[in-house]
């Protein structure tokens, strides 16, 4: 039979243009598409042979072979799968977007067979990606079972193809790509190896390539050709969790993360229902050496039936979980899905929600069952997790459950959860109090804590820089409001007696001109022993926040602070008496400044005028010791 020339059915020219120019952003994926087709073809023949084994003719050594031929400038992808007969070739390769795989899946579905093979390509354009790198494609194929002749199909992808009988000794398909001049690098074995590793590492059938192996000493070197398997094949996420060993998880985690330490926890689950997918996620035990804080990118590897679709699919993981590594394998997405198409895919949203829920549950379980492991994770990566408090409103409470804090009542180095804090709240305490600063030891000495201590209220000590931003976002935990200990008026200060206020009013009026940096002066019950402290107004920035912002290069001034004085402190009372008896005494201004200075020191700020401060202290020493 001589070669017949036939027209492509669809308006292929335009479609090919679309495929090669817009469907795929990266042309190297042609290899992934052809290997996937070959793998599908093998699955099909395996499935068919369940009923009649004789169709296999003893050929069960399933494999996909890639053969670069530098002389002929061809790259061949061969399989011993189901092959195609003449009509099928015309039907399947002559029509773009008519996917034989889809027809097959429909047929299998109709049979409702539990053994139905998983098939990758369901879109019907994968094969044509070959024309991104080849100016001519030759397909030689022979169908399984029938002792039919082989068929040769040749096309330049421009609207026509030829078809003829051809010698094809064994079942299966060879796709021969006559590579374009600018695609010759796809003949390079190193390149081919790395592409198979990248996209098709977990294809279940071996992808092989012949390589020369040298043996023997110098003069007697012998070159033998060996068949090298290029893919790992072990897609452990597709196995049953109980069948996967811990070291297999650890090994796979290492491949994904480059982290030397084993993961703190592996999360391996299947979601069935509207969107079906399998996921294998890892929570690192600490910040991996390679972790880049400055590159705020999250992502999971997205596979569609073992084939890598995207190295880092950002749609699958919110940023605040960017320490999580893992893969998601979905059966519901098309293989050649692009980023734009993906963003509109409703499955993705479901997958992401499930991923987030599972990660948060996994962290909760780790916290409850292996607190030390969780603590190591949290100390390193907690700051990132906390970003979720203000970003993931839906899961805010679950993230709040995962927080750990030092507090006034914890021993040095120990921490507690918000739940433990609330549990231990004494009667009469209605809010959760916190104080932010650089370190717990310094915070423990803060005068702001005096009144809370006196009442027996615990105060959380926040020392992670992000706490100042993140913790207020919690707002409420188990119905209890979170409240900064150094902000606003302390509950109960309303109760300062009017006559005390009246007694101090003249002193405060005259101090306002001495202390222009202070927004207001008032009496407080916040302090029990100290004389003075500075507080931010309810809506304003605390001193710690102000220092943080300045450290980040922000021009931050949180507005004037309120100087609070303790009426029960003897020095404060002495100052008042001095003002009452001799209101113009110059010492009043000096002592007021000293009160202000000590309040600034107490909140961790610098004394605004160090030289003036030294002089005032020295004057006091002189006045006292020089008597």
* Contact footprint for ligand ADP (CB under 6 A): 33, 37-38, 41, 79, 81-84, 92-93, 99-101, 121-128, 173
Orientation of helix 587-602 relative to helix 498-514, angle to 10° = 100
Which of 370, 381, 436 has its CA nearest to residue 403?
381
Nearer CB in complex with ligand ADP: 121/157: 121
CB of 123 to ligand ADP, least distance (A): 4
Q: Which residues are CB-neighbours of 256 under 8 A, at least 6 positions away? A: 282, 301, 325, 326, 327
Q: How many C-beta atoms lie closer than 10 Å to residue 2's C-beta?
A: 6
CB-nearer residue toward ligand ADP: 139 or 535: 139
| 3 state DSSP class of 342 | helix
CB closer to ligand ADP, 175 vs 460: 175
DSSP 568: T
Q: Determine phi and psi for 266, rounding to 5 degrees.
A: -105, 135
> Smallest distance from the beta carbon of 229 to ligand ADP, in angstroms?
19
- For ligand ADP, the closer CB: 23 or 92: 92
Least gap, CB of 286 to ligand ADP (angstroms): 43
457 CB contacts (<8 Å, ≥6 apart)? 425, 426, 429, 433
Q: Measured from the CB of residue 294, what is the shortest distance to ligand ADP in angstroms?
A: 40
Q: Is-contact 326 317, C-beta < 8 A?
A: no
Residue 89 or 385 having the CB closest to ligand ADP: 89
Output 121 or 362, the one with its CB closest to ligand ADP.
Answer: 121
**What is the pairing mode between strands 172-179 and 74-79?**
antiparallel
Tokens of 66: 């890639």
Taking the least distance from each CB to ligand ADP, the nearer of 332 and 392 is 332
CA nearest to 140, candidates 61, 84, 209? 84
Which residue, 131 or 405, has its beta carbon nearer to ligand ADP?
A: 131
Q: Output the CA angle 289-291-297, nearest 5 degrees.
A: 170
Provide the minimum distance between the beta carbon of 548 and ligand ADP in the complex, in angstroms, as a whole number: 54
282 neighbors 269 (Cβ within 8 angstroms): no
Considering the complex, what minimum distance in angstroms separates the CB of residue 308 from ligand ADP? 16
Tokens representing 518 are 């202070």
Residue 132: which of 32, 239, 244 has the closest Cα?
32
CA atoms of 463 and 62, how far apart (whole Å): 59
Q: Which is nearer to ligand ADP, 39 or 395 (CB)?
A: 39
Least distance (Å) from ligand ADP to the CB of residue 209?
17
Q: Name the phi and psi angles at 59, rounded to 5.
A: -95, 90
Residue 350 is inside which H or E element, if any?
A: helix 346-369
CB of 82 to ligand ADP, least distance (A): 5
Least distance CB 131 / ligand ADP (angstroms): 11
Nearer to ligand ADP by C-beta: 125 or 531?
125
Q: What are the tokens at 304? A: 């569609």
- The CA distance from 201 to 327, in Å, is 13
């Amino acid at each position: 039979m001589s070669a017949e020339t036939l027209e492509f059915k669809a308006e292929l020219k335009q479609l090919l243009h679309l495929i090669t120019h817009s469907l795929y952003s990266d042309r190297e994926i042609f290899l992934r598409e052809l290997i996937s087709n070959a793998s599908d073809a093998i699955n099909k023949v395996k499935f068919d042979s369940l009923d009649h084994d004789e169709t296999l003719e003893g050929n069960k050594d399933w494999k996909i072979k890639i053969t670069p031929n530098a002389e002929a400038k061809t790259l061949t992808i061969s399989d011993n799968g189901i092959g195609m007969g003449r009509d099928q070739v015309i039907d399947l390769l002559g029509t773009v977007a008519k996917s034989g795989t889809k027809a097959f899946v429909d047929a299998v579905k109709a049979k409702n067979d539990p053994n139905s093979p998983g098939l990758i390509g369901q879109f019907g354009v994968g094969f044509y990606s070959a024309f991104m790198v080849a100016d001519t494609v030759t397909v030689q194929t022979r169908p399984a079972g029938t002792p039919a002749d082989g068929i040769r199909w040749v096309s330049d992808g421009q609207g026509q193809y030829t078809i003829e009988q051809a010698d094809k000794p064994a079942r299966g398909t060879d796709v021969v790509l006559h590579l374009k001049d600018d695609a010759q690098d796809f003949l390079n074995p190193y390149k081919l190896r790395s592409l198979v590793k990248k996209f098709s590492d977990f294809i279940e059938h071996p992808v092989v390539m012949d390589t020369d192996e040298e043996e023997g000493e110098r003069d007697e070197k012998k070159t033998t050709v060996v068949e090298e398997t290029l893919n790992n094949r072990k897609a452990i996420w597709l196995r049953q969790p109980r069948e996967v060993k811990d070291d297999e998880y650890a090994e796979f985690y290492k491949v994904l993360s480059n982290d030397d330490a084993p993961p703190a926890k592996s999360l391996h689950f299947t979601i069935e229902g509207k969107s079906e997918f399998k996921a294998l996620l890892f929570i690192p035990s600490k910040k991996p050496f390679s972790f880049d804080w400055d590159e705020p990118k999250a992502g999971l590897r997205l596979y569609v039936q073992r084939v890598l679709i995207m190295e880092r699919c950002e749609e699958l993981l919110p940023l605040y979980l960017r320490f999580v590594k893992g893969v998601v394998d979905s059966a519901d997405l098309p293989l050649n899905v692009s980023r734009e198409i993906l963003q509109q895919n409703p499955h993705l949203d479901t997958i992401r929600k499930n991923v987030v829920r599972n990660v948060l549950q996994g962290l909760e379980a780790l916290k409850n069952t292996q607190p030390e492991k969780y603590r190591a994770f949290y100390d390193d990566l907690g700051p990132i997790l906390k970003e979720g408090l203000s970003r993931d409103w839906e899961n805010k409470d679950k993230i709040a459950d995962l927080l750990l804090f030092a507090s006034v009542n914890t021993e040095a180095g120990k921490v507690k959860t918000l739940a433990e804090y609330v549990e231990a709240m004494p009667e009469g305490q209605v809010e959760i109090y916190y104080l932010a600063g650089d370190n717990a030891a310094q915070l423990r000495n803060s005068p702001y804590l005096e009144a809370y201590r006196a009442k027996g209220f615990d105060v959380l000590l926040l020392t992670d820089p992000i706490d100042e931003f993140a913790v207020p976002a919690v707002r409420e935990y188990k119905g209890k409001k979170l409240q900064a200990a150094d902000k606003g008026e302390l509950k109960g200060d309303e109760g300062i007696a009017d006559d005390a206020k009246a007694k101090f009013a003249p002193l405060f009026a005259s101090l306002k001109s001495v202390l222009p940096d202070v927004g207001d002066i008032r009496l407080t019950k916040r302090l029990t022993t100290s004389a003075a402290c500075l507080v931010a107004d309810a809506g304003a920035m605390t001193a710690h926040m102000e220092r943080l912002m300045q450290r980040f290069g922000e021009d931050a001034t949180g507005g004037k602070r309120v100087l609070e004085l303790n009426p029960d402190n003897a020095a404060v009372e002495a100052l008042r008496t001095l003002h009452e008896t001799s209101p113009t005494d110059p010492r009043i201004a000096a002592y007021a400044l000293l009160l202000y200075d000590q309040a600034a020191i107490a909140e961790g700020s610098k004394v605004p005028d160090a030289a003036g401060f030294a002089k005032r202290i020295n004057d006091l020493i002189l006045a006292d010791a020089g008597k």
